[in-house]
């Protein structure tokens, strides 16, 4: 027998699959058929049960509708018993717990709560700032651009030594407002200082100003030039104002290279854009009284220490024409 004949005669069933494998395949197929039948019966039973429930629910709905129609007809006919009348069903309202009430309130009103809280915080800050803010008893504008603005706190201490508590807040506070000007500079700081200075010129509240020889000529025209008449015995007061050429002053504030051309000056009373000339005159009279105290204090100390003044010469700067509003009195003087 050749190999080909032997291949076809290895199995008794006349196939290439051995007898034991064929029996195993039949068993698997039978088990699969039985399982499939069980699945189909379960699916059929589920469908039948669902259909039964649907019919039962539909029957109950139809009966309820029929009963409602009958009751309605009885009510219209006036023969319905009191207990047969259709009663409106209401879902009982569930009482919320305190935590649920709070959560519900926050959910519906959180925007208004946040806005209200923000308004309260801002109001509280403004009130606190207003109540606790130290109001200055005197203000001085510092427009000299020679480095003195770095020592404004020390200057305040010296000026406060002869100042009084004019606003009655229990503290003496003299504010030196730093706004150095240089008409040849156009950087952001000098532009901002120029705007600040011009804004204060439109008001008549701040009278005293610290200048130097580099201060623009147009600005110098707004200051009073009759101060020697009010302090004839003070050698440090001339038509420009009170000279701050004191060596002891430079030592006290720590400004070693303090130039000798600094002046404390008073603005001439005019009719400001914001306010009246009477109000500015009152402010001028008050500033003049304080100016005299400072001048006398510095003069007495200079005599006591035999102060020879400063030797530091000012740095000369090139000026450019700067437009500054002129007061009415200066215009009338020129005419």
- The verdict on 111 and 168 lying in the same domain is no
pLDDT tens-digit map of 185-223: 777 888 899 999 999 999 989 999 999 998 988 899 999
- The verdict on 159 and 145 lying in the same domain is yes
Whole-number pLDDT of residue 90? 57
- The verdict on 144 and 283 lying in the same domain is yes
- The verdict on 182 and 260 lying in the same domain is yes
Whole-number pLDDT of residue 329? 44
Q: Is residue 217 in some structural domain? A: yes
Q: How far is CA 212 from CA 128, 179, 242, 295, in A?
A: 39, 13, 11, 17
- The verdict on 19 and 128 lying in the same domain is no
pLDDT tens-digit map of 33-49: 888 888 888 888 888 88
- The verdict on 284 and 156 lying in the same domain is yes
Segment 74-96 mean pLDDT: 62
Q: Is residue 256 in some structural domain? A: yes
- The verdict on 126 and 257 lying in the same domain is no
Whole-number pLDDT of residue 233? 94
Judged on CB neighbours under 10 Å (0-12, 13-18, 19+), 182 is buried
- The verdict on 106 and 197 lying in the same domain is no
- When pLDDT is cut at 50, 70 and 90, the band that residue 331 belongs to is very low
Judged on CB neighbours under 10 Å (0-12, 13-18, 19+), 166 is middle
Is the pLDDT assigned to residue 264 strictly greater than 90?
A: yes
Whole-number pLDDT of residue 205? 92
- When pLDDT is cut at 50, 70 and 90, the band that residue 282 belongs to is very high
- When pLDDT is cut at 50, 70 and 90, the band that residue 310 belongs to is very high
SS3 content of the chain, % helix, strand, coil (to 5): 55, 10, 40
* Average pLDDT taken over every residue of the chain: 82
- The verdict on 151 and 23 lying in the same domain is no
Whole-number pLDDT of residue 53? 85
pTM value is: 0.57
Is pLDDT larger for residue 213 or for residue 332?
213
Segment 216-237 mean pLDDT: 93
Q: Is residue 190 in some structural domain? A: yes
Whole-number pLDDT of residue 315? 77
Percent pLDDT > 90 in the chain is 39
Q: How far is CA 166 from CA 102, 174, 290, 313, in A?
A: 53, 11, 11, 37
* Residue 248 structural domain: 137-324
Token duo for residue 107: 């959910």
Q: Is residue 91 in some structural domain? A: no
- The verdict on 159 and 216 lying in the same domain is yes
CATH code (residue 231): 3.40.190
Overall domain count for the chain: 3
- The verdict on 225 and 171 lying in the same domain is yes
List the single range of 41-55, 62-76, 121-135, 289-303 with lowest mean pLDDT: 121-135
User: Between β-strands 263-266 and 174-178, what pairing exists: parallel, antiparallel or unpaired?
Assistant: unpaired
Q: Is residue 334 in some structural domain? A: no
Q: Is residue 229 in some structural domain? A: yes
Is the pLDDT assigned to residue 20 strictly greater than 70?
A: no
Is the pLDDT assigned to residue 3 strictly greater than 90?
A: no
The strand ranges marked E within the chain are 138-142, 174-178, 208-211, 237-238, 241-243, 263-266
CA–CA separation, 75 vs 87, rounded Å? 12
- The verdict on 144 and 53 lying in the same domain is no
CA–CA separation, 174 vs 293, rounded Å? 14
Residue finishing a domain among 77, 108, 124: 77
Q: Is residue 5 in some structural domain? A: no
Q: Is residue 331 in some structural domain? A: no
């Amino acid at each position: 027998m050749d190999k080909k004949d032997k291949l076809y005669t290895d199995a008794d069933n006349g196939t290439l699959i051995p007898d034991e494998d064929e029996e195993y395949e039949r068993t698997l197929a039978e088990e699969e058929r039985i399982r499939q039948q069980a699945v189909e019966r379960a699916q059929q039973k589920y469908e039948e049960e669902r259909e039964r429930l649907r019919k039962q629910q539909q029957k109950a709905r139809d009966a309820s509708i029929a009963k409602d129609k009958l009751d309605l007809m009885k009510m219209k006919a006036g023969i319905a018993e009191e207990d047969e009348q259709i009663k409106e069903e209401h879902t009982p309202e569930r009482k919320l717990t305190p935590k649920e009430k709070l959560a519900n309130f926050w959910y519906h009103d959180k925007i208004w709560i946040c806005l209200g809280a923000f308004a309260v915080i801002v109001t509280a800050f403004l009130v606190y700032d207003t109540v606790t803010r130290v109001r200055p008893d005197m203000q001085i504008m510092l427009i000299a651009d020679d480095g003195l603005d770095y020592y404004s706190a020390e200057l305040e201490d010296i000026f406060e030594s002869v100042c009084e508590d004019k606003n009655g807040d229990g503290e003496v506070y003299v504010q030196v407002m730093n706004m150095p000007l240089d008409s040849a500079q156009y950087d952001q700081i000098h532009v901002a200082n120029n705007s600040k200075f011009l804004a204060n010129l439109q008001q008549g509240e701040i009278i005293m100003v610290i200048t130097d020889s580099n201060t623009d000529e147009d600005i110098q025209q707004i200051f009073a030039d009759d101060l020697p008449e009010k302090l004839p015995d003070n050698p440090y007061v001339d038509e420009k104002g009170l000279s701050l050429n004191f060596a002891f002053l430079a030592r006290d504030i720590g400004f070693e290279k303090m130039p000798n051309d600094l002046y404390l000056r008073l603005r001439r009373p005019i009719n400001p854009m914001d306010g009246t000339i009477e109000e500015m005159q009152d402010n001028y009279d008050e500033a003049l009284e304080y100016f005299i105290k400072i001048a006398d204090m510095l003069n007495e100390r200079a005599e006591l220490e035999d102060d020879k003044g400063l030797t530091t010469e000012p740095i000369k700067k090139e000026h450019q024409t700067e437009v500054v509003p002129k007061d009415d009195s200066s215009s009338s003087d020129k005419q």
